[in-house]
Amino acid sequence: MRHSIRSMVGSGLAGAAILAAGLAGGVAHAQDKAPIKAATLLDFTRVYTFLTDEYSQGQQDYIKLLNMEGGIDGHPVELIVRDQGSQPQQGIALYNQARQEGAIFFDFLSTPVANAVMPRANEDHLPMMTFAHGRADAIDGQRFPFVFPSAAIYRSQAALLLQYMDEHGGLKDKKIAFVHIDSPFGREPLALLEAMAKTKGFTLKAFPYAVPGTEQSAAWTDVRRFRPDNVIIWGAGPGQAVSIRGAISNGISPKSIYSVIWLSETDMRSFQGDAVVGVKRFTAVNTGADSAILKRISEKVIDAGKGTGDAKVVGSTYYNIGVASMAIMAQAAKQALDTQGAPLTGDKLKAGFEMIKDFDAEGLMPPLTITDKDHQGGGWGRVSEWDGDKWVPLNDWGHAYQDVVWQLVRDDAEKAAKEAKK
């Protein structure tokens, strides 16, 4: 042992000091005017990286705009942005920390973390948003009073795609291939598709591929043998471009490819020329920078040089979803403040969410109506088509087969009740 005691004690003390600073790091910063704290604890580093940057950029830019325009009834909104790496234990730690700092609204955008926090949020009476992701039965406001998907869940998305196919060429006696990532997320719409296959009389076949989805050739050879009329692809991130490449190289026309919400401009621009023109995708929030909110963001935030990140991203699919998520939160907070006054609490914010009626974020999204029963808000969306440069909406906002979606939710609830009784 040649280390001197001084260096040893010194490094020990330094370590302890860093540790103490780190553990105390979460202490709240004093603000001037009772800010509303919202925590967006996202996954910047592990699984959801393909969308988190753009999504968070949209959220932060919108909050900047909101605060410039006077906040919510004078209350500024303070965002707590942290990385949970899609790890439940880290998500729970950050959730507890943000709760201590006074956050009353949570957004995780990571299914594992959201699922792990759900029972806690219900217990602590703190609303959390699972925008277009997370478990399907969370749209049932009676069972999950503090969880707000606030957009069409995956089953509603699949329903809308089916309805579009039904209106354009019909579904009867057609063959539909459902090519999905073999994870809970990928299997989620299966229950609905199977139910619809029975009532609408089409043949459904599921072709799973393994996580993370970068290798799908086996699935697509099978799809080729099946000779489907339409293909629904259900994946996220890099796997989506692989799916489209697999479909096209197996002779499937891009016009008969339908996708879940997670298919971005970046995914599509990886293809040369017109190869993928005609691919269709479910859309929950308008893309492009021409809606009123986006124009104001461009003007007051981006052009003023206060943007959070790359200006090219503004108006892209995931950016706009980020804007919409915060706009919904702000609307809920505003209604809660108007009816119940400051200071805002989790319970008041929940009531504010359930007062949202026909809210379309100035034309950015379909009219959203959340009630104490329906936390999905109607299951609205539309189908968009890739024209080689951008997503072009093909039909008007609508929703499809909500009776089937809710029947499945009721089945889940019954099953859960039976299990709880056991």
Partner 1 sequence: MFYRLSGVHHTRYASARQLWPLPADRWQVAAVFVLAVAAPLYMSDLYLSSYMLPWLVWSTATLALTLLMGVAGQLHFGFGAVMAIGAYTSIHLTQAGVPFELALLVAGLLAALIGCLFGAAALRVKGLYLVMATLAMQFLVDWVIVNVKAISGGAVATLQAPAVEFLWIPVDTLVARYYVALLWAVIVTLLMLNIKRTSFGRALVAVRDKDFAAAVIGVNIFKYKLLAFFTSSFLGGVTGAILAFCFYRAVTPQQFSFDISIQLVAMVLVGGLGSTIGAFLGAGFVLLAPIVLLNIVAPMVEAGWLPVSASLMAHIPLMIYGAMIIGFLLFEPLGLAKIYDNARKYFLVWPFRHTQS
Name the site residues for partner 1 (rule: CB under 8 A). Answer: 1, 3, 5, 8, 12, 18-19, 21-26, 29, 44-45, 52-53, 56-57, 60, 81-83, 85, 87-90, 92-94, 96-97, 99-100, 111-112, 115-116, 118-120, 134-136, 183-185, 187-188, 190, 308-309, 412, 415, 419-420, 422
CA gap 334, 339 in Å, rounded: 9
Least distance to partner 1, CB of residue 268, Å? 22
- DSSP reduced 3-state for 80: strand
Tokens of 350: 């929940």
**Would you say 107 and 55 are in contact if contact means Cβ atoms under 8 Å apart?**
no
Least distance to partner 1, CB of residue 183, Å? 8
- DSSP reduced 3-state for 397: coil
**By C-beta, is 100 or 253 nearer to partner 1?**
100
Looking from the CA of 386 toward its CB, the CA atoms found within 13 Å total 30
**By C-beta, is 274 or 414 nearer to partner 1?**
414
Reference 107, options 66, 65, 60, 75; nearest CA is 60
Least distance to partner 1, CB of residue 382, Å? 25
**By C-beta, is 403 or 419 nearer to partner 1?**
419
**By C-beta, is 41 or 247 nearer to partner 1?**
41
Least distance to partner 1, CB of residue 131, Å? 16
Residue 331's identity, in one-letter code, is Q
**By C-beta, is 42 or 66 nearer to partner 1?**
42
Q: Is the peptide bond before 238 cis (omega within 30 degrees of 0)?
A: no
- CB proximity list for 363: less than 8 A, separation 6 or greater: 286, 291, 292
Least distance to partner 1, CB of residue 304, Å? 17
Least distance to partner 1, CB of residue 18, Å? 7
CA gap 282, 50 in Å, rounded: 18
**By C-beta, is 308 or 320 nearer to partner 1?**
308
Tokens of 40: 């967006």
**By C-beta, is 84 or 256 nearer to partner 1?**
84
Least distance to partner 1, CB of residue 187, Å? 4
CA gap 243, 260 in Å, rounded: 12
Least distance to partner 1, CB of residue 336, Å? 26
**By C-beta, is 120 or 205 nearer to partner 1?**
120
| Rounded-to-10 torsion of CA 367, 370, 371, 372 | 180
**Would you say 350 and 123 are in contact if contact means Cβ atoms under 8 Å apart?**
no
CA gap 88, 268 in Å, rounded: 31
